[in-house]
Chain A
Amino acid sequence: MLNSTPIRVLSFVVLGLLAGTMLIPLWSIVATAFSSKFASLQPGIILWPAPFSLEGFATLFSRLDFVRPLLNTLMLTVTGTAIHVLLAAMAGFVLAQESLPGRRLIGALILLTLTIPSQIMMVPMFVLFRQAGLLNTWFSLWLSGTVSAFSILRMKAYFEQVPAALVDSARLDGAGNYALLRHVYLPLAMPGVLTVAAFQVVYRYNMFTEPLLFITDADKLTLQIALKSIILSESATSTNDFIAPNVQMAGILLAMLPLLIFYPLMQRYLVRGMLVGAVKG
């Protein structure tokens, strides 16, 4: 682009260094996770597990409760994402109908929620769920971020791309509302659906604040909260022992794995969707 050799060289240096700050700690995590407890406690850089050991993973599974939080999170991620995408698609579809009376009013109401950060809702939501007896239930998590203005606007932008002529001709062919949705709108809005879904999966999988506030039952713990206890060496899980670095890193590695598998599959949508959201939304 700039036709300048020094800048090109510098570009490689900059990106190499930046990527290094991500890859080197990551590799160190892998190496530590596969080290024995004793080796992981030695000062120095662990770049290769010596001796190779699965002790960390064994401790993680046998002494600390890690499987149930992981399963809870996977369940919540799937159900929460499905609900979110469905609601956002429905609202986005409605707002894309230009002839709808009151469309501007509804749109303004939804836009208004964008100005209220979720962190400000923490205490009010806690109070509400407490009154409703929803603390320590899955509903408290399903009802957090169930749908967002951001996703609705994103879906609306995709539905608006559906050409009116196509809709008209389908109507002439006798397509009802349902057939129109099923055969015209949804296929054309599919990239939008996948984009919203991809971001929801990441958001739900990483959910931290809401379970921290609303869930205290041990059998309803979610992954990030369980991981927090392990990393901060809290005794909140099931043992008071000191948690060695190899166990902590094994936990981080396992918690990262689903996302690292998911990321390349959905990269197209995560990247492009982000750009659509950032540029015009």
Chain B
Amino acid sequence: MLKRLRRHAWLYWIIAPVILYFAAFVFFPLGQGLYYSFFKAGLGGLREFIGLGNYAKVLASPAFVRATVNTLVIAGGITVLGTLMPIVPAIALAEITPEPLRRAFQTTIYTPYLLSWVIILGIWTNTLSPIGLVNSVLLHLHLIEAPIVFFATPAWARPLLIGQTVWKDIGFHALIYYSALLSLDQDVLDAAALDGAGGWAKIRYIVLPHLRPMLAVVFVLTLQGSLHTFDSSLLMLNGRTADEILTLAVFAYQRGVLQFDLGMASAAAAVLLALCLAVAAVTRLLAPGAMRL
């Protein structure tokens, strides 16, 4: 055994920096954060042990409850739409034949996935501004009488946040489905056609069942990702829309980094972590194999 260890010593040296990194910059701060959540803590450091006091304060705070509701609603919307909607462009990509054209569509719809939230929001605040493209068209068609102030209307806040997220990721998810469609056996489709199945029947009975395992993967990926929505929420919220779209991650940031209430922020982060882990555990039970990343 010792001999084996010695022969592999150089391998341990090579991986040591990575293990050290995870220990010092993931596990240590996380542990310290959990520790802080039991203390009254500010910028000066720990002041006094208050047990579950921060958790009680957090759970009793209306702002936290709002943030939790917002997070769940937004994550739910993003997950359902983000999983189902990309099926349509994926099938469409598989149907389009001149290869260069298919590739051009694929490139175009994948691009927003690469752009930062600052840019995505810049694009849509410009397009949806009171003097922008959408309002101009709607006014011109006499569909509305006054411009809609999309980004300052509470009722639009969640649909916009969910919509922009789904839009940003649709090409990415469509490509995952499309690659799964490539492994679909053409013979099966042809046999179905001989039995009189039309295009829609093929989609219903062959294509969608074939995509099911991938749907589970995308569902889990999207759910995990959307639970800690931060950039989009922080960048979009303003005085009028904060109540609709302020998420738990933003709540923890505001309490901890802007207001220096580290104890309460740590407790909020711990609750969010528990939420994520619970969701991970449930999805693992419901869809085993989907989380094999």
Contact = CB atoms under 8 A, between A and B. Distances in A.
A122 interface: yes
A278 B176 contact: yes
Interface string A121-134: 11111111010000
Interface stretch (B15-23, B50-58, B75-83): B15-23
Contacts of B179: 275, 278-279
Chain B interface size range: 35 or more
Contact of B33 (A32, A113, A124): A124
Given A87-B21, A123-B269, A274 B175 contact: yes
A231 B29 contact: no
Contacts of B112: 22
Nearest to B32: A124
Contacts of B92: 10-12, 14-15
B116 A206 contact: yes
A100 B12 CA distance: 9
A224 B116 contact: yes
Contacts of B170: 18
Contacts of A153: 293
A271 interface: yes
A87 B15 CA distance: 8
Contacts, number: 270
Q: What does DSSP make chain A's interface, helix, strand, loop or mixed?
A: helix
Which one of A14, A143, A245, A280 has the highest number of Cβ atoms from chain B below 10 Å of its Cβ? A14
A43 B138 CA distance: 13
A126 B114 contact: no
A7 B199 contact: yes
Interface in A201-241: 202, 205-206, 208-209, 213, 224, 227-228, 231-232
Contact of B96 (A12, A41, A110, A146): A12
A42 B131 contact: yes
Interface in A132-165: 143-144, 146-147, 150, 152-153
Which one of A45, A127, A150 has the highest number of Cβ atoms from chain B below 10 Å of its Cβ? A127
Contact of B19 (A21, A99, A106): A106
B123 A228 contact: no
B38 interface: no
Contact of A25 (B109, B123, B228, B273): B123
A117 interface: yes
Nearest to B22: A113
Contact of A3 (B89, B199, B257): B199
A97 B8 contact: yes
Given A120-B269, A122-B269, A270-B114, A249 B21 contact: no
B269 A124 contact: yes
Contacts of A23: 108
A123 B257 contact: yes
B198 to A, nearest CB: 6
B126 A32 contact: yes
Contacts of A50: none
Contacts of B235: 228, 232
Contact of A123 (B22, B133, B136, B252): B252
B231 A208 contact: yes
B293 A2 contact: no
B123 A14 contact: no
Nearest to A46: B133
Contacts of B121: 231
B105 A120 contact: no
A15 B1 contact: no
Contacts of B29: 121, 124-125, 127-128
A120 B270 CA distance: 8
Contact of A1 (B25, B95, B118, B277): B95
B214 to A, nearest CB: 8
B95 A8 contact: yes
B118 A228 contact: yes
Contacts of B26: 113, 116, 121
A208 B11 contact: no
Contacts of A106: 15, 19
A26 interface: yes
B255 to A, nearest CB: 8
A251 B175 CA distance: 30
Interface in B1-41: 1, 4-5, 8, 10-12, 14-15, 17-19, 21-22, 25-30, 32-33, 36
10 contacts: A19-B105, A25-B123, A26-B123, A32-B126, A43-B135, A124-B30, A127-B32, A248-B126, A252-B126, A275-B179
Given A2-B91, A24-B133, A90-B18, 12 more contacts: A2-B199, A43-B131, A106-B19, A116-B26, A117-B273, A123-B253, A126-B256, A128-B28, A128-B29, A227-B119, A256-B119, A279-B179
Interface of B: 1, 4-5, 8, 10-12, 14-15, 17-19, 21-22, 25-30, 32-33, 36, 43, 88-89, 91-96, 105-112, 114-119, 121-127, 129-133, 135-137, 147, 167, 170, 172, 175-176, 179, 181, 184, 186, 189, 193, 198-200, 202-203, 207, 217, 221, 224, 227-228, 230-231, 235, 249, 252-253, 256-257, 262, 265-266, 269, 272-273, 276-277, 280, 292-293
